[in-house]
Structures are given as C-alpha cells and as structure tokens.
C-alpha cells in the first residue's frame, strides 16, 4: 500500500495515499483535529490535539488520560451500545510513552423514520500521547467495522510509526 505524508503545525504522519483528508478549519498549533478516511467510508483515522497543560490539570499520566476517556464513553449509555474492551496497553510512539485502548461498540443511526434506528458496529483503537517538547497532547483514533479491524490495525501501525509530534525545520 502507498502512503502519503501529512504535515501541519509541526507534526507529521503518513496515511494511505488513496484516502481523503479533512482538516478542521479552526485548527491551530495548540488545538485542532484532522480526519483521514477511505473513499468508501469504511475506515478512518482521526487525530485531535490540544494543550498539554489542559490534560495535566486533570490527569497525572497518559494512562490515566486514556482510561478516563474510556470511562466517560462507558457512562454515555445514550450514545453508545454495549462497549467491549479488546485490549489496553502502554506503548511507545516517537519516543513518548503512550497508551492504547482498543474497544468494540455499537452506535445508533436514525434514518428518515426515527422509530427504526440502524445499529452500526465499530472497532475503535485510540492512542493517547503526551508531548512535552511541543506542549501538546494527541489522541489518534482508528475507526472501522470489527470485521475490518485487522486491516485498520496495519494502517494505524504505519501511521504511528511515522508520527512525529515535534519536528521543526531550521535554515
């Protein structure tokens, strides 16, 4: 598979070359988000970033940050169906301690007749990263149907291998 380089606000990442990219128009160095998605809409990788001091005000570690996010999702019964934890582990991304949550969940999508919602199954892999050098935290989320989770894992691993959250060009 071919990959393209995406770079903005001194971070960079590789994404599948045939995917589309949508950067939030209000994004800035200190906060924003970008989503990469396949043309069929079956898989996506979403990156959000914000000021590290905001995370440090609430959490003592990247693990606590990730676990708190998962706890919030599990308490939002109105938005999500049953949530199944597949994997949780500490990993390293670009020489930073990071924490991975892999879950499966269902959401409801309402059509024209709201009495008959459609259940949509998701496999979500989220990786939380705290970067002292850039003073930002990043959350990288891969989303696909559980049947496509292995394909998404490969793409997410490639993205994480290429991820650099604090590169700077000098002349």
- Whether 171 maps to a domain, the answer reads no
CA separation, residue 57 to residues 30, 52, 65 (Å):
16, 9, 11
Residue 13 forms part of a structural domain: yes
Contacts of 114 (CB under 8 A, 6+ apart): none
Is 132 a member of any domain? yes
Total domains, the chain: 1
Whether the full predicted model's pTM is greater than 0.75, yes or no, is: yes
Decide if 167 is inside a domain: no
Domain that holds residue 27: 3-162
> Which three-class secondary structure state does DSSP give residue 165?
coil
CATH number of the domain where residue 153 is located: 3.40.1000.10
Residue 168 lies in a domain: no
- In tens, the pLDDT along 16-73 reads 999 999 999 999 999 999 999 999 989 999 999 999 999 999 999 999 999 999 999 8
CA 71 to CA 126: how far, in whole Å? 13
Phi and psi, residue 167, nearest 5°:
-95, 145
**106 pLDDT more than 70:** yes
For the chain, the average pLDDT equals 91
Under the banding of pLDDT at 50, 70 and 90, the label for residue 158 is: very high
Burial of 15 (0-12, 13-18, 19+ CB in 10 A): buried
């Amino acid at each position: 598979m071919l990959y393209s380089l995406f770079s903005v606000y001194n971070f960079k990442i590789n994404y599948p070359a045939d995917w589309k990219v949508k950067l939030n128009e209000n994004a800035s160095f200190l906060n924003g988000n970008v989503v990469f998605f396949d043309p069929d809409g079956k898989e996506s990788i979403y990156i959000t970033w914000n000021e590290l001091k905001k995370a440090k005000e609430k959490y003592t570690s990247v693990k606590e940050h990730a676990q708190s996010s998962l706890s919030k999702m599990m308490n939002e019964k109105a938005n999500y169906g049953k949530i199944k934890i597949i994997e949780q582990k500490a990993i390293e991304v670009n020489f930073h301690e990071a924490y991975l949550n892999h879950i499966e969940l269902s959401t409801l999508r309402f059509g024209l007749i709201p009495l008959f919602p459609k259940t949509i199954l998701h496999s979500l892999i989220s990786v939380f990263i705290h970067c002292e050098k850039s003073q930002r935290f990043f959350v990288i989320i891969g989303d696909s149907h559980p049947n496509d989770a292995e394909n998404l894992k490969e793409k997410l691993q490639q993205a994480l291998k290429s991820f650099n959250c604090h590169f700077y060009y000098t002349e």
